[in-house]
Chain A
Amino acid sequence: MTGPLHRFDQPGTYIGRSVERADASRLVEGEGTYVDDLQLPRMTHAAFVRSQHAHAKIKHIDVDAARAHTGVVAVFTGADINPLVKPYVGILTHLQGLRSPPQLPMADQVVRCQGEPVVMIVAQSRAIAEDACELVQIEYEPLKALVSAEQALDKDAPTIHPELDNNTAWVREIDVGDASAAFSRADVTVVERTFLFGRHTGVTVEPRSVVVEYNRSDNTMVFHYSGQAPHMMQAILAKHLDFAEENVRVVTRDVGGSFGIKIHTYGDEIATAVAAKLLRRPVKFIADRLESFTSDIHARDHRIQGRIGVDSDGRIVALEIDDLTGIGPYSMYPRTSAIECNQILNLTGAPYQIDHYRARGTVVFQNKNMMCQYRAVGHPVAMAVCDSLLEEVAGEIDMDVVDIRRRNLIADDAYPVTSATGMKFADLSHQQSLERLVELMNYDQLRADQSDRRKKGCYRGIGLVSMVEVTNPSPMFYGVGGAPISAQDGATVRLDAAGALHVSCSITESGQGTHTILAQIAADVFGVDIARVKVSTGDTAHVPYGGGTWASRGAGIGGESVLLAADALKAQVLEVASSILQTTPDTLDIENGVVVNADGDDKISLDELGKIVYYRGNELPAGVNAELIATRHYRVTDYPFVFTNGAMAAHVEVDIETGFIKVLDFWVVEDCGRVINPKLVDEQIRGGVVQGIGGALYEECLYDEEGQYLNATMADYLVPMAGEMPDIHIAHIETPTCTSTLGAKGAGEAGTGGAPAAILNAVNDALRPLNASIFQMPMTPERVLNALKA
């Protein structure tokens, strides 16, 4: 970079340093406070009898024996809970045509997927509640289960919801340029493939958990939850349980992973809130692992027909995709289950210059668990489809996969750019990232090694991806569509009488280091030692209003709000100091907790200044009314989203006798703008890559033809484990976003978004000499063996 040194590039700043997480030892030593750690007086425990059937009529429910069981406090069915809840509908008005019937927390006459809550038992302990669950008798009349999206779409299929004429929830079409004409040009080579992406889920270490308190005397509710968006939950609970919003307090303490699983409206959690109100006792609900697998939202599950055409120079002339996805019986509230398909349509081909683009997305209801936003929504699918097609067509015209990218990536000096789908891109570095990647992975040497090994019957493959990630969303993501989801975040920064800073912010901490980066920003901007900054988040009673942590928005939006608030507080403090010191604020600065003059001489410590303001106000000149607290809010205004970009590569070895895939190495070059804490960013990327490898090789929610979930344990649903993971090498390009002072873009999802594409490409590269290929994830040994037989 050229030009003067930016304020964050000065030596000694906290921004850009791998500051250790202040809360790491507390968590590692087991001193965290998760929802299940809460023990309240008179607290009760909930367990649910869930539907065994994917689709059935409830003929009769007998809860007498359960109710009579010792230790049971109450037994509720949908008939008890649902009338107290205003139905919720998972639509967004800007997703035109999206429809979904009203939902209620518990099943009402018909169950539409396995795992739907039918009976709620509240007891003195979870064990007693589970014992009582076994005493509940439910008589079902099974109905035809529409398990696959194809089945649900069949014109003769029964409708899952009688009020709808068919099972289609949403259709979107994009047609830019003239794809048909481009594909049919004589000089164009066309490749077409069908991709299958399995369902998977987030598998948080701490499951979904709530403890709900209700106070009848003032009609207030406290909702303790393990989640990412406290203010959104506050608005939802108030609206659907008929509270004034200010009478609902949502509290989030330590969160053991969320990954997008914990930003939705789950029937069991809403029912728990209703039960607390009915019983006037705190009710705790902690999902067990079986409940997590069958009721936490699932993601992916797309079948995509993709087509790419390139000219003889390897330039992409047209791209076309047709996506079919099943979302379960409803669109999830309030973010909807159409966003993943929408993202896929928006983002496929995004890194490349493409003039002719045609896409169709079909979102259908089915009798499986609901689908919604999970880490890197749509990205792994969009990136895998485009970059797999690109590498396939490169093979077809005998062009190197790096070379074909060089010919098609949007140039680094071209921004701002609007894509075929209307996405506005700025400050990206695809070309620079690719070149850095090639160097980092030692591409040419890897290719030479690959060809040597092939001669010995060892099949190694190299796969790349160039990718974008949606981060820092503006109100155009959800708010515009009517959802009670804030796109802005707020921060309050306050100086106490001892000269310490207190930051409270509306973004949340889920273990990724939110508190640490906010402390870095505040300490840096304001001028105190980071040890003197205390950060609090996650309580609607005490933090400014804001969206929370999702869509890789925490650092970029919450971080900017802290920057603005710390700047404002600094101005205030200097104003006060100048009146005490009989000078003007512009001659002063704050360094390491001390107000200094232009020569850097210590003039007054913040500790002393705080004591004057708070204890000895009589020493202040008349008319000086020091606040020592500032609040600022920030939202992205110039762009709908702040995109990041990256380039990744995988090196794999395929055991062609067993179908086993070993990931040997993985490289990431990521441009997330200004890096606030390199270590935390790197670990976000590594964790993301591992989750991406999970989706590519291991994780899948399997159902049988009746809609029965088959692998709902940690022994059967395979998450990636450290022993199988490769070294993940990371390099950064830093192109700060022009939308904020901080310049930080998001970094939370890139790894997950890009890794599956790189792995898929690497596996197909390994299989190429055997004339075999695979386009289905996860790439299990059996699927690889079948591909080799085909």
Chain B
Amino acid sequence: MIADDTQTCQPLAGGQSLMPMLNLRVAQPEVLVDLNRIAALSFIEIQNDVVHIGAMVRYTALMHSPLIDKHVPLLAMALPYIAHQAVRNRGTIGGSVALADPAAEMPAVLKALAATIVVVSAHGQREIPAEAFFLGIYETALDEGELVHSIKIPLATSGHRFGFYELARRHGDYAMAGVAVSAQSINPCTELSIVFFGVADQPLRAVDAQAVLEGCAISDNAALTAAQQSLPAELMLGDTGVSADTRLQLARVALKRALLSMAD
């Protein structure tokens, strides 16, 4: 059905974004394909040096998974910030990836962790790096007829450090600004990966900030200030609640607080 291009078709995962969109008549597919009973898409397992997570794994399952706690701590840090328990009971990691909401936590976390998105179609399977997967607001590298199958995330190694911070008016809201940080080490910082969410049209890698901080101690104030200043003002989006200027200010604060939390 998904391969059939004579009708508009929408896969239904946890439905925590799609159902409201249907209610609002923003999405009007002719066919809904319910993925909820495909047991083969609900697995969490270790394969060599990655954790492999099926697209239909729900947030609550991830939160209760010792594998995630141990091997993907950044994901574990982000999960409690996703909406509310009722939403997490239904919402899936694959649904969030496929939707590509730039304000959502999952795309930024996966990008920060250099995860790989495994997609399938009638023609077979391919793997797309998270870095190249999220292209814009609700826009991904998925081709017509392709479905997110699973996500592969490299295992954290000892010494690997992570930071996560988000600013939301109310717990569970989409962030006004948030950031996911991963580093191979922090004193000095090496292989720093900094990805913002809720600030631009896609999960935003802070390339300049990474470069500024690389090789510096994480608590180096001058480097931190320079990193804050290096955030790309021109990519910040404004909306009804927050102007682009405020967004930039909040992103800078989020960065500082995420990094400081890693130094503790």
Contact = CB atoms under 8 A, between A and B. Distances in A.
Interface of A: 130, 134, 288, 290, 657-660, 698, 702, 710-711, 713, 715-716, 718, 720-721, 723-724, 780-782, 785
Contact of B240 (A288, A660, A710): A710
A702 B176 CA distance: 17
A290 B172 contact: no
A782 B246 contact: yes
Given A710-B240, A716-B240, A290 B170 contact: no
Given A130-B25, A710-B240, A711-B241, 17 more contacts: A658-B253, A659-B246, A660-B169, A698-B170, A702-B240, A715-B174, A716-B240, A716-B241, A721-B171, A724-B170, A781-B169, A781-B246, A781-B250, A782-B241, A782-B242, A782-B246, A785-B246
Contacts of B253: 657-658
B17 to A, nearest CB: 10
B24 A780 contact: no
Nearest to B174: A715
Nearest to B242: A782
Contacts of A781: 167, 169, 176, 242, 246, 250
Contacts of B246: 659, 781-782, 785
A722 to B, nearest CB: 9
B34 interface: no
B249 interface: yes
B113 to A, nearest CB: 26
A724 B241 contact: no
B154 to A, nearest CB: 32
Contacts of B25: 130, 134
Interface of B: 20, 23-25, 167, 169-174, 176, 240-243, 246, 249-250, 253
Nearest to A134: B25
Contacts of B20: 713
14 contacts: A130-B25, A658-B250, A658-B253, A711-B240, A713-B24, A715-B173, A718-B173, A724-B170, A780-B241, A781-B167, A781-B242, A781-B246, A781-B250, A785-B246
A771 to B, nearest CB: 19
Nearest to A657: B253
B172 A723 contact: yes
A721 B170 contact: yes
Contact of A290 (B24, B167, B173): B24
A698 B170 CA distance: 9
A593 to B, nearest CB: 45
Contacts of A134: 25
Given A657-B253, A658-B253, A781-B176, A698 B241 contact: no
B170 A723 contact: yes
Contacts of A785: 246, 249
- Interface centre among B20, B23, B241, B243, by most chain A C-beta atoms within 10 angstroms, is B241
Nearest to A660: B167
Contacts of A711: 240-241
Nearest to B23: A288
A716 B173 CA distance: 9
A478 to B, nearest CB: 36
A276 B35 CA distance: 42
A203 B96 CA distance: 28
A514 B251 CA distance: 48
A713 B173 CA distance: 13
Contact of B170 (A659, A702, A718): A718
Contacts of A710: 240
A487 to B, nearest CB: 40
B171 A724 contact: yes
Nearest to B257: A657
Contacts of B23: 288
Contacts of A702: 240
Given A657-B253, A781-B176, A698 B169 contact: yes
A659 B249 CA distance: 10
A702 B172 CA distance: 22
A781 B245 CA distance: 12
Q: Name the 8 nearest CB pairs between A and B, nearest first.
A: A723-B171, A782-B246, A710-B240, A657-B253, A721-B170, A711-B240, A702-B240, A658-B253
A782 B250 CA distance: 10
A290 B26 CA distance: 13
Contacts of B176: 781
A521 to B, nearest CB: 39
A770 to B, nearest CB: 16
A782 to B, nearest CB: 5
A750 to B, nearest CB: 25
B243 A782 contact: yes
A361 to B, nearest CB: 29
Contacts of B249: 657-658, 785
Nearest to B177: A658
A147 to B, nearest CB: 15
Nearest to B25: A130
B169 A718 contact: yes
A384 B154 CA distance: 55
A698 B169 CA distance: 8
Contacts of B170: 698, 718, 720-721, 723-724
A130 B174 CA distance: 29
A720 B169 CA distance: 10
Nearest to A659: B246
Contacts of B174: 715
Contacts of B171: 721, 723-724
A757 B157 CA distance: 52
B50 to A, nearest CB: 34
Nearest to B254: A658
Contacts of A780: 169, 241
A690 to B, nearest CB: 12
Contacts of A698: 169-170
Contacts of A290: 24
Nearest to B247: A782
Q: A658, A698, A702, A780: which has the most chain B beta carbons within 10 Å?
A: A658
Nearest to B240: A710
Nearest to A697: B169
A710 B172 CA distance: 21
B253 to A, nearest CB: 5
Nearest to A131: B25
A130 B22 CA distance: 12
Nearest to B171: A723
A700 B1 CA distance: 44
Contacts of A720: 170
A713 B242 CA distance: 17
A780 B250 CA distance: 13
B41 to A, nearest CB: 27
Contacts of A660: 167, 169
Contacts of A724: 169-171
Contact of A658 (B167, B172, B173, B243): B167
Contacts of B243: 782
Contacts of A723: 170-172
A210 to B, nearest CB: 21
A116 to B, nearest CB: 20
Contacts of B240: 702, 710-711, 716
Contacts of B172: 721, 723
A710 B167 CA distance: 22
A724 B241 CA distance: 18
Contacts of A718: 169-170, 173
A697 B211 CA distance: 38
Nearest to B243: A782
Contacts of A716: 240-241
